[in-house]
Amino acid sequence: MAYKILTVTTIPETMEAFLTPFTRYFRHLGWQVDGMASNITHNSVCVAEFDCVWDVQWSRNPLDPRHLIVAVSRIKEIITQGNYDLVHVHTPIAAFVTRYAISQLKIKQKPQVIYTAHGFHFHQLGNPITNFIFLNLEKLAGSWTDYLITINREDEAAAKKHRLLPAARIFYTPGIGLDPHKYALNQVSESQINAIHQELGLTSEDTLLLCVAEFTPRKRHRDQLIALKKLNRPKVHLAFAGDGKIRQELEQLTQKLGLQSQVHFLGFRQDIPVLIRSSIATLLTSQQEGLPRSIMEAFCLAIPVIGTKIRGIQDLLADNCGLLVEVGDTDALAIAIAQMIDNPEKAFQMGQNGRQKIASYDVKDIIKQYADIYNQALSKHE
C-alpha cells in the first residue's frame, strides 16, 4: 500500500544534511513523501528529493510570534489538503508548533504523529528553571504525539522516567545515521592531506587538532582556546571548521591569548573528510548535544575524539573511542590533548575502535528501524 508522509523541520538545511536517505527509501517503496520547512521551495536539493514541498513561516527563534499567528493555520491547511497518513516532525520549533496545529484539526482521522527528538532542551547539565520549562513543554507536546524516537540513551531514559509517552511508544535509535562510505578512508589521499598542511602553513613538526562545529555559545569553542594556551606547545595547531554568530568574539579571544599563529578559522568547508584525516584528533567541548554527527564522521575516518562528559558524546566515546573531560574543565582538556599527542599508539587504537563502532550507526540500519516504527504507526491508522 502506498502511504503519504509529511516530513517537517524548521529549516530545509536539516533535511538536506540528514534526511534525504530516508526520503529516497520510502519514495522507492512507492510512498508519497512531502517536506515542510521555512523557505523550502528555495532549496533545490529538497525540491528534487521530495514529491512536494511546502513553505511555512517560522524561525529558529522560539519567541517568534509568527509561530502561532501564521504557522498554525498554514500547517492545518497543508495537512488537511495533503490527507497524510503520517507526519514525522524533527527539530524543536517545527516539532512543537506542528504537533500543536495537528491537535487543533477538526477532521475525522488525523495522521499518526512521530517526533524524533534530536536532543531534549532539558538535560542533566541544564539550568533548573529552563529544564523545568522545557520538560513541561515536552510533556504537553507528548499528549499530541503518537510515537517518540530518541537518539541517545539519556534522552530515552528521561522520556520514560517523565512518561512523555507510554514506554511502548518510546523508541531509541543510534542517531539518524550516516553513510560510512562517504567518509571512507580510501576517499582521502596523502596528497590531499599534504595540501591541507600546506594551506595552514604546517611543518612536519607541527600537530593539528580539528573542531567541526557551528560557532554558538553551547559548543564552548573558547574552552579549546584556553586549553591550548594552557598547553603551551607552539607546535600544536587548532583548526575551526564552521561559522556562526560568535566567530568574531572567538577571533578576538585568539588574539588576546596570543594564539593567532596556532589557531585557524576555516569557515564553512566542503572538504570535512580531508580535514579530519589531516588531524590527529577532533575536539567537541559542547555543553549540550543530541548525538553529534562530527564525532561519527571522525570515527569513520579512524580519528579519535576528545569530548565532554554529556549525553550523546558519552554514548559515542564509550568503549575507548576517545577521551572525556568535564564541561568547562580547561585544565583537563589541556591534559587530554597532551595525552593524544604524546601517546600516538593509544590514539591510533582509539581511532580504530571508533571505526569499528560506527558500523552500528549506518544510515541503512537506521532506515530499517524507522520503517518498523512507521509500519507500527500506520497499522494503527488503517
CATH number, position 355: 3.40.50.2000
Query: Looking at the structure, do residues 133 and 210 belong to the same domain, yes or no?
Result: no
Query: Looking at the structure, do residues 203 and 347 belong to the same domain, yes or no?
Result: yes
Residue type, 283: L
Question: Total domain count for the chain?
Answer: 2
Query: Looking at the structure, do residues 215 and 350 belong to the same domain, yes or no?
Result: yes
CB neighbours of 50 closer than 8 A, spacing ≥ 6? 7, 15, 23, 33, 34, 35
CB neighbours of residue 320 within 10 Å = 14
342 in Cβ contact with 359 (< 8 Å): no
Reported confidence tier of residue 63, pLDDT bands at 50, 70, 90 = low
Digit-coded pLDDT (tens) for 312-360: 999 999 999 999 999 999 999 999 999 999 999 999 999 999 999 998 8
Reported confidence tier of residue 66, pLDDT bands at 50, 70, 90 = low
Residue 373's closest CA among 116, 78, 188?
A: 116
Residue that has been written with the C-alpha cell 510533556 in this structure:
139
Task: Return the SS3 of 41.
Answer: helix
For residues 51-62, average pLDDT? 84
Q: Is residue 202 left, alpha or beta, with left meaning phi > 0 and alpha meaning psi from -120 to 50?
A: beta
268 in Cβ contact with 240 (< 8 Å): no
pTM: 0.86
Angstrom CA distances, 81 to 26, 58, 97, 103, 111, stand at 21, 20, 18, 16, 12
Query: Looking at the structure, do residues 320 and 343 belong to the same domain, yes or no?
Result: yes
Query: Looking at the structure, do residues 19 and 153 belong to the same domain, yes or no?
Result: yes
Task: Report pLDDT for 67.
Answer: 57
Query: Looking at the structure, do residues 345 and 260 belong to the same domain, yes or no?
Result: yes
Is the pLDDT assigned to residue 105 strictly greater than 60? Answer: yes
Q: For 346, list phi and psi in degrees, rounded to 5.
A: -65, -40
181 in Cβ contact with 300 (< 8 Å): no
Query: Looking at the structure, do residues 366 and 352 belong to the same domain, yes or no?
Result: no
Query: Looking at the structure, do residues 206 and 77 belong to the same domain, yes or no?
Result: no
Query: Looking at the structure, do residues 228 and 306 belong to the same domain, yes or no?
Result: yes
C-alpha cell at 57: 513561516
Task: Return the SS3 of 370.
Answer: helix
Work out the mean pLDDT of the chain and round it to a whole number. Answer: 93
For the chain, the 3-state helix, strand and coil shares in percent, each to the nearest 5, are 50, 15, 35
285 in Cβ contact with 224 (< 8 Å): yes
Burial tier of 128 (Cβ tally within 10 Å: 0-12, 13-18, 19+): exposed
Residue 281's closest CA among 348, 223, 206?
A: 348
Query: Looking at the structure, do residues 102 and 251 belong to the same domain, yes or no?
Result: no
Query: Looking at the structure, do residues 212 and 139 belong to the same domain, yes or no?
Result: no
Task: Report pLDDT for 57.
Answer: 86
Percent of the chain having pLDDT more than 90? Answer: 84
Task: Write out the DSSP string of 151-178.
Answer: SSHHHHHHHHHTTSS-GGGEEE-STT-B
Task: Return the SS3 of 227.
Answer: helix
Task: Report pLDDT for 187.
Answer: 86
Burial tier of 299 (Cβ tally within 10 Å: 0-12, 13-18, 19+): buried
Report the distance separating Cα 346 and Cα 141, nearest Å. 45
Q: For 233, list phi and psi in degrees, rounded to 5.
A: -125, 100
Task: Report pLDDT for 108.
Answer: 83
User: Strand runs (DSSP E) across the chain, as ranges?
Assistant: 4-8, 32-37, 52-55, 86-90, 112-117, 147-150, 170-172, 207-212, 236-241, 263-267, 281-284, 305-308, 322-325
Task: Write out the DSSP string of 52-103.
Answer: EEEE----S-TT-THIIIIIHHHHHHHHHHHT-SEEEEESHHHHHHHHHHHH
Task: Report pLDDT for 249.
Answer: 96
246: containing domain: 180-361
Which has the higher per-residue pLDDT, 306 or 2?
A: 306
24 in Cβ contact with 15 (< 8 Å): no
Is the pLDDT assigned to residue 151 strictly greater than 80? Answer: yes
Query: Looking at the structure, do residues 145 and 276 belong to the same domain, yes or no?
Result: no
Cα-to-chain-centroid distance, residue 110:
29
